Amino acid sequence: MQIELHEISVKEIINGYLNNEEEGVVGYGGQLNIRPKYQREFVYKDDKRNAVIETIWKNFPLNVMYWAKNEDGSFEVLDGQQRTISICEYCNNNFSILVEGNPLYFHSLTDSQREKILNYRLMIYFCEGTDEEKLDWFKIINIAGEKLTGQELRNAVYTGSWLSDAKLHFSKNNCAAYRLAKDYVNGSPIRQEILETALDWISKGRIKEYMASHQHDENASELWQYFQDVIYWIPAVFINIAKR
């Protein structure tokens, strides 16, 4: 794993910021994939979100962040998604913070105050390596903050067309998989628990190997069909079945 430390300003991060609930979140001139399509949604509560901006306002250091560098030169956030979205959303005037007792949106700040925030520099490690190295590194840095589940960790590494399509079925609130299996399968779609269950079934416990082999498939139709077959089979065989 090759790791390099960089200082990147808030102004650079928010350049080209786009938060599309269905299509993901991007920034850094379109070169940073802050939240890949249908991945984990924003989970920071207001107090944590506001604390990020207050830290920048006071010019205190934020914890270091990690980006994975892709072969085409683009990046994906390995660690720091919640902080990055907090910063971008504030600079996009989507919430206010208390400044000297007054609630202020970004557009309400003076020119000098806005420049102070825009010029704030974030410490970010650029990480390059194999999928296995990225997964190991991600496990190491996933120590504090909003803990990721095992499936969320795997999703951060095995991104691609297959995963994007799989999440269409398994990873949104009230998604098709949840509606179909809620009487038989426990778990939260947005925490990737239903996706993990489906992968566990089809791979017979070898989830990482299955995701690696299908990472660049055009779609996840095999997984979705398998999951439907299992769920339709359950009530046909068992009359009273407890949730898994």
Identify whether 149 is part of a domain: no
Considering only CA atoms, which of 213, 3, 42, 41 is closest in space to residue 127? 3
CA torsion sign for 42, 44, 49, 51 is negative
Of the listed ranges 76-90, 141-155, 181-195, the one predicted with least confidence: 141-155
6 and 117 co-located in one domain: yes
122 and 201 co-located in one domain: no
Identify whether 175 is part of a domain: yes
What average pLDDT does the segment 234-241 reach?
A: 64
The C-alpha atoms of residue 172 and residue 22 are separated, in whole angstroms, by 9
37 and 138 co-located in one domain: yes
Identify whether 244 is part of a domain: no
16 and 106 co-located in one domain: yes
Identify whether 126 is part of a domain: yes
138 and 34 co-located in one domain: yes
Domain that holds residue 99: 2-144
207 and 231 co-located in one domain: yes
| pLDDT top residue among 64 and 45 | 64
105 and 191 co-located in one domain: no
The pLDDT of residue 102: 83
The pLDDT of residue 87: 96
94 and 168 co-located in one domain: no
The C-alpha atoms of residue 97 and residue 84 are separated, in whole angstroms, by 16
The answer to pTM > 0.85 is: no
Number of compact structural domains in the chain? 2
Identify whether 242 is part of a domain: no
- The residues, ordered by sequence, that sit 6+ positions from 210 with a Cβ below 8 Å of its Cβ are 199, 202, 203
The pLDDT of residue 128: 86
| Radius of gyration in angstroms for the set of CA atoms belonging to the chain, rounded to a whole number | 20
56 and 130 co-located in one domain: yes
The C-alpha atoms of residue 93 and residue 48 are separated, in whole angstroms, by 17
32 and 99 co-located in one domain: yes
pLDDT bracket for residue 39 (50, 70, 90): very low
Cβ proximity of 57 and 117 under 8 Å: yes
Q: What is the pLDDT of residues 50-61, one digit of tens each?
A: 999 999 999 999
Domain closes at, from 89, 122, 144: 144
Q: What is the pLDDT of residues 108-124, one digit of tens each?
A: 999 999 999 999 999 99
Identify whether 231 is part of a domain: yes
Identify whether 94 is part of a domain: yes
Concatenate the DSSP letters of all residues of 185-206 into one string. --S-TTTTHHHHHHHHHHHTT-
The pLDDT of residue 38: 40
The C-alpha atoms of residue 85 and residue 10 are separated, in whole angstroms, by 11
The C-alpha atoms of residue 101 and residue 95 are separated, in whole angstroms, by 15
**DSSP H or E stretch at residue 207:** helix 207-214
Q: Helices 207-214 and 193-203, interaxial angle, to 10°?
A: 90
**Would the pLDDT of 42 be above 80?**
no
| pLDDT top residue among 33 and 44 | 33
21 and 135 co-located in one domain: yes
Concatenate the DSSP letters of all residues of 72-99 into one string. TS-EEEEE-HHHHHHHHHHHTTS--EEE
Identify whether 150 is part of a domain: no
Q: How far is CA 163 from CA 39, 43, 151, 159, in A?
A: 9, 21, 11, 6
Domain closes at, from 123, 144, 165: 144
The C-alpha atoms of residue 131 and residue 120 are separated, in whole angstroms, by 32
Q: What is the pLDDT of residues 216-237, one digit of tens each?
A: 999 999 999 999 999 988 877 6
Domain closes at, from 86, 116, 144: 144
The C-alpha atoms of residue 150 and residue 158 are separated, in whole angstroms, by 13
66 and 185 co-located in one domain: no
CA torsion sign for 228, 232, 238, 243 is positive
